[in-house]
Chain A
């Protein structure tokens, strides 16, 4: 391997056109790969930006109480005086943000769009 390199360096005849072409091809490929990597990361960043904007817009609407309602099942579970769980299920109601008391919790199962 070392001998081949020394031979190549000492060689006075220069490079053949095919060698030059192959070298340019390798350089071009490397350049294209780097360029595609940059473009892919740029696209990814843009996608993340769009997703973040959508998430915060939806969250703002939810916090402001102006979000579009969706249909689903809501279960409000509350403990009575002896610690038993009483579950009430509401089907097909509009879901909006609502404050509940501390001894209650709400679980939501989405059925519609």
Chain B
């Protein structure tokens, strides 16, 4: 009877004893290692996922921008080499591409060639809508060293490069493509 009572008292004491300091330390150390491994894996996964989606979005943006600029160049009739402006029937007026900041990307600017200044009557429009400029990326544009070459049949060969850059990664180039477009019409170059 006495033994039974002692055993019960021991069990009660043991139940209230809790963990030793060494056990707690080991548990905390193990938990920290597990937490570090999980968070490290999560960061790698998140970075990989971001890169993949960004690359895919950049490809869509690049194709859309190329399509838009190609359309303008295909329908060009006059090219002004001093200002890199062109008269294109796809717009109905003289335009020039420029990139004012990293939020809007390429802007199609109506241009007054006689004053060599932006047209104040017509409004400038972004090449791609804000919905297409996704994932903190924007389009950039650069004419080639020889932006326009007149072919023997009177048509023009336009050469330019379109870039897709990330504004949150110090304007890192995500995608870029050099493009050559032959106009449908005869082009006069000034």
Chain A complexes with chain B? yes
Residue contact B55 to A60, C-beta cutoff 8 Å: no
Let me know if B63 is at the binding interface, CB within 8 A: yes
B17 to chain A, nearest CB (A): 14
Query: What are the residues of chain A within 8 A of B184 when measuring CB–CB?
Result: 99
CA distance A59 to B159 in the complex (A): 12
Interface residues of A in 90-112 (CB under 8 A from B): 97, 99
Q: How far is the CA of A41 from the CA of B59 in the complex (A)?
A: 14
**Chain B 42-55 per-residue mask, 1 if CB under 8 angstroms from chain A, else 0:** 00010011011001
Segment 20-59 of B: residues with Cβ below 8 Å from A: 41, 45, 48-49, 51-52, 55-56, 59
In the complex, A13 Cα to B56 Cα: how many Å?
51
**Contact size class for B?**
20 to 34
From A48-56, A71-79, A80-88, the one touching the partner chain is A48-56
Q: Which residue of B is nearest A52, CB measured?
A: B59
Contact flags B149-189 to A (C-beta < 8 A → 1, else 0): 00101010100000000000000000101111110100000
Q: Given A60-B180, A64-B180, A41–B52 Cβ distance below 8 Å?
A: yes
How would you classify the secondary structure of chain A's contact residues: helix, strand, loop or mixed? Answer: helix
Contact A45 B45 (CB under 8 A): no
**B56 lies within 8 A of A45 (CB):** yes
Measured CA separation A48–B56 after assembly (Å): 9
A60, B160: Cα distance in complex, Å: 11
A38 near B179 with CB under 8 A, answer no
- Whether the Cβ atoms of B48 and A63 lie closer than 8 Å is no
Asked whether, in the complex, the Cβ of A63 is within 8 Å of the Cβ of B52, the reply is no
Residues of A within 8 A of B175 (CB): 49
Assuming A38-B45, A38-B49, is B157 touching A64 (CB within 8 A)? yes
Contact assessment for B45 and A48 in the assembled complex, using a CB-CB cutoff below 8 Å: no
Tell me if B55 and A63 are in contact (CB < 8 A). no
Complexed CA–CA distance, A96 and B178 (Å) = 21
Instruction: Determine the chain A residues whose CB is within 8 A of the CB of B182 once the complex forms.
Output: 63-65, 97
- Nearest CB on A from B134, distance (A): 16
CB within 8 Å of A: which B59-90 residues: 59, 62-63, 66
New A-B contacts (11) at CB < 8 Å, excluding given A42-B52, A60-B179? A45-B55, A48-B59, A49-B59, A52-B62, A52-B177, A56-B177, A56-B178, A60-B180, A64-B180, A65-B182, A99-B155
Q: Name 26 A/B residue pairs within 8 A (Cβ), A-sorted.
A: A31-B41, A34-B45, A38-B49, A41-B52, A42-B48, A42-B52, A45-B52, A45-B55, A45-B59, A48-B56, A48-B59, A49-B59, A49-B175, A53-B177, A56-B178, A56-B179, A60-B178, A60-B179, A60-B180, A63-B180, A64-B157, A64-B180, A65-B151, A65-B182, A97-B182, A99-B155
Ranked 6 nearest A-B pairs via Cβ = A60-B180, A63-B182, A63-B180, A45-B55, A41-B52, A38-B48
